[in-house]
Amino acid sequence: MKRIGVLTSGGDAPGMNAAIRAVVRKAIFHGMEIYGVFYGYQGLMNGNIKKMEVGSVGDIIHRGGTSLYSARCDEFKTIEGQKKAIEELKKYDINGLVVIGGDGSLRGAKSLSDLGLPCIGVPATIDNDIAGIDFTIGFDTALNTVIEAIDKIRDTATSHERTFVIEVMGRNAGDLAMYAGLAAGAESIIIPERKDDFDSVVHRLKRGLERGKKHSIIILAEGVGEGVQYGKKIEEETSYETRVTVLGHIQRGGSPTAQDRVLASRLGAKAVDLLKNGEAGKIVGLQNNQLIAQDIDELLANKHRLNKDVYQLSQELSI
Ligand code: F6P
């Protein structure tokens, strides 16, 4: 394994740059040649590939986004697109690839592995929706961004005695909403994994009103529905003055936290070690804070599970 490539794909996540840096520098440390693929799988199919040096990844560890750029690409989901990508890599004699991204991107890595290209996946998404690992790269930063926003909104909620519904990202997973709810002391969280929660949210609000509570923060995961509709529903049910904030893409940006930088550096470096040792078709991650590499097929066949203890605690502490 002399020459490998690295790409980022799907939604960007803070810490992707730290992962790219680790891949590039670890490859050079091992005496390998390393190529950056720009614009994810789209760029791979178009041959947007450039050799990387130590300096190519200087001054990026603290930056959000991805210096390799990213894209969502439907063509790559077809077998023709995947074969085209393999052909491009052959032109450069690249015989191994590190894919940094979320669920869809890791599925792309699986497809390339199935076609015989040694691939290692590095999970990076603010959604934290990958099975079998503690946290994905970018989740911690996004969580901190969400909490900072909630703390600010809480000032207005208190001053105006209002209920706020705050819609957060996460695709089909409730992790961002759940951890944010716990860390920011929200009164309620509504997440896809517990869809029946609307009644209990109303119950909690009414109970709070009875004991003199004048404001509330409700965190809604986007996988459940739209904040505006929930806000209306809650105002109708409770007659509390309610406002809605959709946090949107601010959750994806910003300088990565120390935790995300360290995680990204460890996972990026581990991915290169695996390729160097002839291993392929794996996804790297931390499990109980230990570095592990799991079979890509197995991992993607499993569904990410919500941490029930954390959910339970968030319920117990928001009485
Ligand atoms: O997967 C990351 C994510 O930010 C999700 O939380 C969200 O549903 C989606 O991407 C938004 O995608 P886009 O930026 O393509 O609109």
pLDDT band at 112 (very low <50, low <70, confident <90, very high): very high
The whole-angstrom separation of Cα 279 and Cα 7 is: 18
Cβ neighbours for 48, distance < 8 A, ≥ 6 positions apart:
37, 38, 39, 42
> What residue's CA is closest to ligand 1, atom 10?
11
pLDDT band at 196 (very low <50, low <70, confident <90, very high): low
Ligand 1 contact via 170 beta carbon (within 6 Å): yes
C-alpha separations of 59 from 7, 67, 185, 242, 296 in Å: 18, 11, 36, 44, 32
Longest Cα–Cα distance in the chain? 70
What is the CA(171)–ligand 1 centre distance, in A? Answer: 7
In tens, the pLDDT along 158-185 reads 999 999 999 999 999 999 999 999 999 9
For residue 185, count CB atoms less than 10 angstroms from its CB and return exposed for 0-12, middle for 13-18, buried for 19 or more: middle
Distance, CA of 164 to chain centre: 25
Which of the residues are catalytic? 127
- Residue positions counted in the chain: 319
Residues 193, 307: contact at Cβ < 8 Å?
Answer: no
What is the CA(38)–ligand 1 centre distance, in A? Answer: 19
Question: From the alpha carbon of 10, which atom of ligand 1 is closest?
Answer: 1
Question: Hey, what domains does the chain have and what are their CATH numbers?
Answer: 3-138+256-301 (3.40.50.450), 140-253 (3.40.50.460)
Give residue 318's pLDDT: 87
Ligand 1 contact via 260 beta carbon (within 6 Å): no
Mean per-residue pLDDT, 30-36: 98
Ligand 1 contact via 125 beta carbon (within 6 Å): yes
In tens, the pLDDT along 198-227 reads 888 898 888 888 888 889 999 999 999 999
What is the CA(255)–ligand 1 centre distance, in A? Answer: 18
> What residue's CA is closest to ligand 1, atom 1?
11
